[in-house]
Structure 1
Amino acid sequence: MKNFFLIFLFLTGSLFIKAQNATEKADALVSPKVVEKEMTVGGNEADICGFNNQSIQLAIDAVAKTGGTVKLTSGVFEITAPVRMSSNVRLIGSGRETVLKRAKGVQTKFIVDADYGELKITVENADGFDPGMKIQVTDRDQSSCWNVSTAYITDIRDNIIYIDDYLKRDYRSDRDGLISNASSVIEIIEAANVTVSNLTVDGNREENFFADGCNSAGILVFKSKKVIVDKVHVKNFNGEGISWQITENVTIRNSEISGSGNTGMHPGTGSPFTTIENNDVHHNDNDGLFICWRVYQSRVTNNRFHHNGRFGICTGHKDTDVVFTGNHIFENGSDGVHLRGERESNAPHRNTFLENVIENNGTNGSGYGFSINSPARDLILKDNIFQSTGEQTQKAAVYIQANGLPPEMINNKMEGHPEGEVIKE
């Protein structure tokens, strides 16, 4: 009886294993395992030869269905239209010698008003524009942020440029109405699980027109999540170096952002869970880091913000619960850290600054180490070093404007400020 029971278990077990194997084979036929692709772009031995955005785009589109990696060889890639990333794709260069460089810019006036909802623009001169380019439309009154229209050129006939997306505003030709090909080098729009790493983005600033930061940047991230930018040098973009708007879980790390015609880095328009770490952000015309609206529950760690035209770090509207740790903020044109003026309900509450070095800011004539211009509650400054040496342009360690609330200050070191360490208006 015992032997019969063992034989029964063996047979039923064998039948179960066979049935399980059959089920797995059937599942494989119905839903085959997805294998990520990898393609190389650039030199003669690459899968796709060519040093331009079209070659890169061809590879991205080829791996987009399954996800995968596009590997760029060393060399200079000419960018006439933004490289458009897709979900689950990694774009990886071969180091700083992989350069994505903006081609020369082109701009003209439009001679008929470009109205809301239109898909064509009648211009003074269409020379230099080509189908596939991305364009920016502005006039004197509507030239920034969400008042700017962007779209791709679908066709050009005589002096009429046709575009793929409706204009957002009424733009007047008699109010300095302009169309240009000012646009990003890399764009991540409505995508997830994207990585850009190990390459250089060259904005070729001297030969390009100014691009609005909410719509374009050296690297633009828009309505996307789980994005990583790692070991990238964004340089000389005529606009913002890296801009991310309406995002979640964006990480910018181990990168350098320099020579931008506006801000180095610009997270905003509701971009929670941002991580900014181990970056060198310098010699940008405006702020090193401009934290815009509703950036919360984020970390800014071990970065260098220096020699920027205005503030090292600027934060304000509903930018709450951000921890700034171990940053070196020095020799910026005005304040090292600037909390913008906001009503109490919209102020940057519950931010913590821990173990930062803030020194010698105000190189344009004067500034403060830390300037508080709004009633920000639960602001903590702990274990920071504030110092002013040399020309002593950093006039005070902490300045509290009349509308500001005093922060909680714990074990900070402050020295050398000509107007005092902490001053309140």
Structure 2
Amino acid sequence: MGLRDPMLRNRTIEVTAGGSQSDYPGFTSMAIQLAVDKVTSCGGGIVRLDQGVYDVSGPIRLTDRVTLAGAGPETILRKTDGFKSPFVVDADYGELRVEVADASGFRAGMGLQIFDDSQKWGWDESTAIITAVDGNVLRFDRHLERDYHSDDGGMATNACSIIEAVDVEQVRVRDLAIDGNKVANEPIGGCRAGGIYLKKARDCMIERVVVRDFNGDGISWQITEHISVLHCDVRGCTGSGLHPGAGSHSSRVKDNTCIDNGTAGLFICWRVQFGEFERNVLENNAVSGISIGHKDCDNRFADNIIRGNGNGGVYFRPENASNGANRNHWLRNVIEDNDGFGFLVNAGSIDNELKDNLIRDTGTGRQAGDFWLADGAERFLAYRE
């Protein structure tokens, strides 16, 4: 462990994790977290990961001004096999404990997901890290977000994000791969988790990262400002490939590939505004290439390839007239061979500008037409060339 440029006023500490000669040896999420905690105590710095496969049982939590840097795609963070148990006593809002039927597969340091059948998706799940296991009682570090009922399918699982950054600024993640091990883990929603998950974050960058086979969204960022996702490859996730949402402002999403994901390649969630989405490849995603809707306004989509997706290349979700995806700019995109239509537009979105896009079927017979406009979508186009 050493300080780079020790004579400089603004010094950057660098530590290593992974191999036997590193500062924090061990191919585990615990070793990585110890390294992160060290640079956090110094006000930020760089954690460099050796090549190898790291077993991740709980989310690696990043803090302000921390960079997590792998050695390329051979640095793999792999989610360990999942475990779940119903809970036997209601888990109430604000609690830091839950009593489960079987705690044998849970350990301190694991990620934790709590839900019931009525409160399972969106913001209704709760996530935390287990701090102790006392008999069949799990104790954890974040207050529950809802009242969960044991007689309504109440469940505790160790599904979690692989990398998580909440209430942070100037976080960087680069040059590594994430293996979500989806066949051995429970699904988890993209509002609370992802292969990489940011919430209430600003001025952060994710670059040259591979996310594959996560049982949820590949990369999700919620309630953020100035997030950059660059040169990433997201494929085989059961949710969306990329998921900006909940008022995320001024995102830069460029030169990424999203292939074979279970919902949208790029899911533009509520109130995503003034973003730049350029030169991305969105291909063979099950639901749509791009899904956009509630107050998702003033974004720029340029030079993307949107090919072979289900339910339309670009899908505008239905909204009322005051909450549409308005004033977005669509420039020089290739939108081809998607199921149904190139643009499938429900009512509510207005004043979108389209210029120099190539919208076509190349002979597959999948894309029946350029546009489908629902009743009430007459004001969708402000300009088309």
User: Shorter-chain TM-score: what band?
Assistant: over 0.9
Corresponding residue number in structure 2 for 1:308: 285
* Amino acid of the structure 2 residue aligned with 1:62: K
* Amino acid of the structure 2 residue aligned with 1:219: I
Deviation at 1:373, TM superposition (A): 0.9
Where does 1:212-251 land on structure 2 (aligned, <5 Å)?
Answer: 212-251=189-228
Deviation at 1:406, TM superposition (A): 4.0
Deviation at 1:372, TM superposition (A): 1.4
* Amino acid of the structure 2 residue aligned with 1:410: R
Of 35, 55, 58, the residue aligned with 2:31 is 55
Deviations 1:16-42 (A, max 9, x none): xxxxxxxxxxxxxxxx93411011111
* Partner SS state of residue 138, structure 2: strand
* Partner SS state of residue 288, structure 1: strand
Of 354, 360, 367, the residue aligned with 1:394 is 367
CA–CA separation in structure 2 for the residues paired with 1:406 and 1:206: 41
* Partner SS state of residue 395, structure 1: strand
Corresponding residue number in structure 1 for 2:4: none
Deviation at 1:199, TM superposition (A): 0.5
* Amino acid of the structure 2 residue aligned with 1:180: T
CA–CA separation in structure 2 for the residues paired with 1:155 and 1:89: 27
Corresponding residue number in structure 2 for 1:142: 119
Question: Structure 1 409/388 Cα, relative in aligned 2: closer, same or farther at 3 Å?
Answer: farther
* Partner SS state of residue 392, structure 1: coil
Of 69, 85, 94, the residue aligned with 2:71 is 94
Deviations 1:129-149 (A, max 9, x none): 011222111111010122111
TM-score scaled to structure 2, two decimals?
Answer: 0.95
Where does 1:69-80 land on structure 2 (aligned, <5 Å)?
Answer: 69-80=46-57
Deviation at 1:60, TM superposition (A): 1.1
Would you say the 8 A contact 2:265–2:288 is kept in 1?
Answer: yes
Corresponding residue number in structure 2 for 1:191: 168
* Amino acid of the structure 1 residue aligned with 2:360: Q
CA–CA separation in structure 2 for the residues paired with 1:249 and 1:168: 27
* Amino acid of the structure 2 residue aligned with 1:53: S
The structure where helix makes up a greater share of residues is 1
CA–CA separation in structure 2 for the residues paired with 1:408 and 1:350: 8
Of 237, 241, 253, the residue aligned with 1:276 is 253
Corresponding residue number in structure 2 for 1:377: 350
CA–CA separation in structure 2 for the residues paired with 1:401 and 1:250: 33
CA–CA separation in structure 2 for the residues paired with 1:406 and 1:222: 31
Would you say the 8 A contact 2:293–2:319 is kept in 1?
Answer: yes
Where does 1:143-222 land on structure 2 (aligned, <5 Å)?
Answer: 143-222=120-199
Deviation at 1:211, TM superposition (A): 1.0
| 5+ residue gaps, structure 1 | 1-31, 412-425
Of 93, 101, 106, the residue aligned with 1:129 is 106
CA–CA separation in structure 2 for the residues paired with 1:167 and 1:84: 18
* Correspondence 1:354 to 2:354: no
Corresponding residue number in structure 1 for 2:3: none
Corresponding residue number in structure 2 for 1:340: 317
274-283 or 57-66: bigger deviation: 57-66
Corresponding residue number in structure 1 for 2:19: 43
Deviations 1:320-361 (A, max 9, x none): 000000000000012000111111111011101000000000
Corresponding residue number in structure 2 for 1:105: 82
Of 33, 37, 43, the residue aligned with 1:66 is 43
Deviations 1:242-295 (A, max 9, x none): 110010000101010001111111100010000110000010011101101111
Corresponding residue number in structure 2 for 1:410: 384
Corresponding residue number in structure 2 for 1:288: 265
CA–CA separation in structure 2 for the residues paired with 1:47 and 1:157: 32
161-170 or 378-387: bigger deviation: 161-170
* Partner SS state of residue 200, structure 1: strand
Deviation at 1:409, TM superposition (A): 4.5
Would you say the 8 A contact 1:34–1:66 is kept in 2?
Answer: no
CA–CA separation in structure 2 for the residues paired with 1:153 and 1:70: 24
Corresponding residue number in structure 1 for 2:5: none
CA–CA separation in structure 2 for the residues paired with 1:257 and 1:327: 15
Of 235, 255, 267, the residue aligned with 1:258 is 235
CA–CA separation in structure 1 for the residues paired with 2:174 and 2:163: 12
CA–CA separation in structure 1 for the residues paired with 2:382 and 2:142: 50
Would you say the 8 A contact 2:17–2:25 is kept in 1?
Answer: yes
The structure where strand makes up a greater share of residues is 2
Deviation at 1:165, TM superposition (A): 2.2
Would you say the 8 A contact 2:17–2:35 is kept in 1?
Answer: yes
Task: Report sequence identity in percent.
Answer: 40
* Partner SS state of residue 174, structure 1: helix
Deviation at 1:389, TM superposition (A): 2.5
Deviation at 1:118, TM superposition (A): 2.0
Alignment root-mean-square deviation, CA: 1.2
* Partner SS state of residue 60, structure 1: helix
* Amino acid of the structure 1 residue aligned with 2:329: T
* Amino acid of the structure 1 residue aligned with 2:351: D
Question: Structure 1 131/408 Cα, relative in aligned 2: closer, same or farther at 3 Å?
Answer: same
* Partner SS state of residue 118, structure 1: coil
Would you say the 8 A contact 1:35–1:66 is kept in 2?
Answer: no
* Amino acid of the structure 1 residue aligned with 2:64: S
Deviations 1:35-76 (A, max 9, x none): 110111111222221101111111111112232111111100
Deviation at 1:151, TM superposition (A): 1.9
* Partner SS state of residue 104, structure 2: coil
Would you say the 8 A contact 1:300–1:325 is kept in 2?
Answer: yes
CA–CA separation in structure 1 for the residues paired with 2:94 and 2:305: 47
Question: Structure 1 112/66 Cα, relative in aligned 2: closer, same or farther at 3 Å?
Answer: closer
